Structure 1
Amino acid sequence: MNDTVSFGYEDIDATEKTGRVGEVFSNVAAKYDVMNDAMSGGMHRLWKNRFVARVKPQPGEAILDMAGGTGDIAFRMAERGASVTVSDINQDMLDVGIERAMERGIDGLVWSRQNAEELTFSSRTFDAYTIVFGIRNVTYIDKALREAHRVLKFGGRFYCMEFSQTEWPGFKEIYDLYSHKVMPQLGKVIANDEDSYRYLAESIRRFPRPAEFEAMIRDAGFENTRVESILGGAVNIHSGWKI
């Protein structure tokens, strides 16, 4: 019997997911940052600033920014002196990031196409591992978490920011309506791609709730795990340490 995984609200053969997610991000790459501003009213910038403040990048640290595509997180960490490797499974997203870095005159970043579930980096290479709004798109989340643990040095830290479902009464209903009705229409108008943004909204609903995801992080070997919720859990910053 073939293994099935979620693709939005669909259950598909596990062997299909990487390709289908790849199509989504190839389709949205050129308008990805514009859409982030439109969908969040610019709040994603504040969330990312808060995330990087929690990571506390230090000069000379080696940090792997997985699913880092267009460079938003990497640029912020590089400003603090960290040596950042930006990795993504999708070359179109990396190409956008490389172009943005050139436009901003940001040098020194390493760009590397990688599958989060099968990293080519040696064990105990990085001081920190970050992944923002990307882990829900991998086929096997547990494999990606184990790989994150493997490539971190002892004492290394794991930070992940991901969407989930808000628990705020009243706002929850508005958020659901916005995600399922408004987001796909914004995708249609701005990126000429309604289906990709419908998938992205649905993928949030299928992602494990914060407590469940925290348990997965612990199962991968991380200690001192923590969840910091934003907007009642609509966005969460997860962290853990390799001890």
Structure 2
Amino acid sequence: MSDKVSFGEELVTPAEKTRRVGEVFSSVARRYDLMNDLMSGGLHRLWKDRFVNRVKPRAGEDILDMAGGTGDVAFRMARRGARVTVSDINADMLEEGKKRAEARDLDLRWQVENAEALTFDDAQFDAYTIVFGIRNVTDIPAALREAHRVLKRGGRFFCMEFSSSDWPGFSQLYDRWADNVIPKLGKAFADDEASYKYLVESIRRFPRPLQFRAMVTEAGFVRAAAEPMLGGLVTIHSGWKI
């Protein structure tokens, strides 16, 4: 890694980025799910349903949901009988998730983890999922290698992430929405405009789908695939460990 990495439009040290990302998600944890609804017009729920249908969680499987935050994706997989471990670098996000799980009478495991240096054993999980989280990781290639390490042979990797859309017209409309509306929603509903400006900037800096697919392959996964939606604004990435 170079000495500096991007945090939104700034260049900072890797340690500083990790610290600042933690502050962002501690700040937004309590209102995170409401803001997802407001920012996407509720579409994030359909995207997550589609994502879990691609993962195909099965009863008795062990699945690691990394950057699982408040549990949205983990709950969907647990309802299908999978044993889900929800991990996140941010303890505040996990606390919100635990409260939501208790209200739904769902039994999941919750563990603070850094995606770049997981404490789990090799070949422990049948599937690894990460949704709208990997763009906030400081060293993405390290996180992908760790995902590969903790998967069993035949295990599957699934990631859903934002990037830039290549649909003419729609891309410009989304950029105006992201720049002018999302930070104001953050200020009005989460009392935090700055964190949502960072989240918008982090989307713009994330690799395009084909570039990220190449990173998944480089981490050791085979049959790496990218399934773009809305011209690549949202993409489901996948790969297998053999």
Task: Report the CA distance shift for 1:168/1:2 in structure 2 as closer, same or farther (over 3 A).
Answer: closer
Identity of paired residues, percent? 67
Residue of structure 1 in register with 2:5 after alignment: 5
Partner SS state of residue 98, structure 1: helix
Residue of structure 2 in register with 1:225 after alignment: 224
Residue of structure 1 in register with 2:165 after alignment: 166
Deviations 1:17-45 (A, max 9, x none): 11000000000000000000000000000
Q: How many Å apart are 1:13 and its aligned residue?
A: 1.1
Residue of structure 2 in register with 1:22 after alignment: 22
Partner SS state of residue 84, structure 2: strand
The runs of 5 or more residues in structure 2 that have no matched partner are: none
Structure 1 runs of 4+ aligned residues shifted over 2 Å read none
Summarize the alignment of residues 53-64 of structure 1 with structure 2, pairs less than 5 Å apart. Answer: 53-64=53-64
RMSD after superposition: 0.9
Q: How many Å apart are 1:105 and its aligned residue?
A: 1.2
Matched letter for residue 168 of structure 2: P
Distance in 2 between the 1:225 and 1:15 partners? 30
Residue of structure 2 in register with 1:42 after alignment: 42
Q: How many Å apart are 1:167 and its aligned residue?
A: 0.7
Partner SS state of residue 181, structure 2: helix
Summarize the alignment of residues 67-78 of structure 1 with structure 2, pairs less than 5 Å apart. Answer: 67-78=67-78
Distance in 2 between the 1:218 and 1:2 partners? 22
Residue of structure 1 in register with 2:154 after alignment: 155
Partner SS state of residue 70, structure 2: coil
Matched letter for residue 8 of structure 1: G
Residue of structure 2 in register with 1:51 after alignment: 51
Distance in 1 between the 2:180 and 2:155 partners? 40
Deviations 1:156-204 (A, max 9, x none): 0000000000011110100111111111010000101000000000000
Task: Report the CA distance shift for 1:2/1:40 in structure 2 as closer, same or farther (over 3 A).
Answer: closer
Distance in 2 between the 1:5 and 1:179 partners? 22
Deviations 1:16-73 (A, max 9, x none): 1110000000000000000000000000000000000000000000000000010000
Partner SS state of residue 34, structure 2: helix
TM-score (norm 2): 0.99
Summarize the alignment of residues 1-243 of structure 1 with structure 2, pairs less than 5 Å apart. Answer: 3-107=3-107, 109-243=108-242
Distance in 2 between the 1:188 and 1:25 partners? 15
Matched letter for residue 220 of structure 1: A
Distance in 2 between the 1:181 and 1:4 partners? 28
Q: How many Å apart are 1:2 and its aligned residue?
A: 6.6
Q: How many Å apart are 1:9 and its aligned residue?
A: 1.1
TM-score (norm 1): 0.98
Matched letter for residue 91 of structure 1: A
Matched letter for residue 199 of structure 1: Y
The runs of 5 or more residues in structure 1 that have no matched partner are: none
Partner SS state of residue 70, structure 1: coil
Distance in 1 between the 2:239 and 2:122 partners? 17
